[in-house]
Amino acid sequence: MNRIDRYLNEVSWAMGGRFSEQQAARDELRAHIRDQVHDLRLAGLDEESAIEQALRELGDPGVLGRSLRSSRGTAALRRGLVQPAGALILERRSDRRMPPPGMLLALAALAATTVAATIIYVWP
């Protein structure tokens, strides 16, 4: 097992929660570490030094895992892990069929006002 996997295991253990939540966090962290190692390699560091510095920049895995506990169950972790190539996810769309409660109240008040005004003008 390499250093990155050991680090991610410690983060997952400290994070707790469901496996799918841990896996989503691991995938995000692994991509971040991979990108950081790539940047450090371009700056002239060897592979091992780049990995060591990237993990040091992320900090203690226990602290990072505990800080990720608050993100468990958020929309970012509920999205599918496999996205089409080149997909850009801007927001999670709500699939509600009803307007918001405030809008319903405004529409009901408008309808009641219209009926009341009609009765007042038509009443003999």
- The sign of the torsion formed by the CA atoms of 73, 74, 77, 83 equals positive
Mean of pLDDT values over 79-108: 67
**Res 35 pLDDT > 90:** yes
The average confidence (pLDDT) of the chain is 81
Residue 55: count other Cβ atoms within 10 Å of its Cβ: 19
Residue 81's pLDDT is what?
47
Residue 123's pLDDT is what?
82
Higher pLDDT, 71 or 6: 6
> How many Å is the Cα radius of gyration of the chain?
26
Residue 85's pLDDT is what?
59
The predicted model scores a pTM of 0.56
